[in-house]
């Protein structure tokens, strides 16, 4: 490097650019007065430089993980018995919150489908089991909405 001022590291004698505060080879701190301080352990002059992959790779991985989680936890698929039960549970919760003095303990679809004073109903349509249309939705003794056809057997 001709024409560029150089500074010699007092510890390892490596050539550094003039005005460098730290040796690019050994990590020794170079002072302006020619005195040196203790070597910085584990310093590597090649490390720490910015590379676009340092930002792009973590962002890409975060996006991929986010998409996987989004599509994994979207809830039950529409048209399934599980989806119908989830809608009934939501309607029951809203009804019981709006009517604390007359909480529903046995499932009454007609009441859930009636419009309230604001013109809204808790259920828009009566859910029908996609496996067996004659099956009924009920609330069991634990307070869980079940389908008489799709009860999970233990």
pLDDT in tens, 2-34: 556 778 888 888 888 877 888 888 888 886 554
Domain with 127, as residue range(s), is 81-147
> Are 34 and 91 in a shared domain?
no
Establish if 58 belongs to a structural domain.
Answer: no
Number of domains in the chain: 2
Establish if 96 belongs to a structural domain.
Answer: yes
What's the whole-number average pLDDT of the chain? 79
Establish if 72 belongs to a structural domain.
Answer: no
pLDDT digits (tens, 9 = 90+) for 102-145: 888 889 899 898 887 788 888 988 898 898 899 899 988 888 89
Establish if 1 belongs to a structural domain.
Answer: yes
The pLDDT value recorded for residue 47 is 53
What is the model's pTM?
Answer: 0.50
Establish if 153 belongs to a structural domain.
Answer: no
Cα–Cα distance between 71 and 52 in angstroms, integer?
29
> Are 92 and 140 in a shared domain?
yes
Establish if 74 belongs to a structural domain.
Answer: no
Cα–Cα distance between 76 and 93 in angstroms, integer?
18
């Amino acid at each position: 490097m001709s024409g560029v001022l150089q500074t010699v590291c007092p510890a390892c004698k490596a050539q550094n650019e003039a005005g460098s505060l730290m040796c690019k080879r050994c990590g020794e701190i170079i002072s302006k007065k020619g005195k040196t301080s203790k070597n910085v352990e584990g310093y590597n002059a090649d490390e720490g430089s910015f590379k676009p992959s340092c930002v792009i790779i973590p962002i890409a991985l975060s996006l991929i993980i986010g998409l996987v989680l989004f599509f994994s936890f979207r809830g039950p698929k529409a048209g399934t018995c599980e989806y119908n039960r989830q809608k009934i549970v939501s309607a029951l919760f809203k009804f019981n919150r709006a009517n604390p003095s007359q909480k529903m303990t046995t499932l009454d679809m007609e009441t859930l489908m009636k419009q309230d004073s604001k013109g809204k109903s808790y259920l828009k349509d009566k859910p029908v089991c996609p496996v067996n249309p004659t099956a009924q939705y009920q609330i069991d003794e634990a307070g869980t909405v079940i389908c008489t056809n799709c009860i999970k057997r233990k």
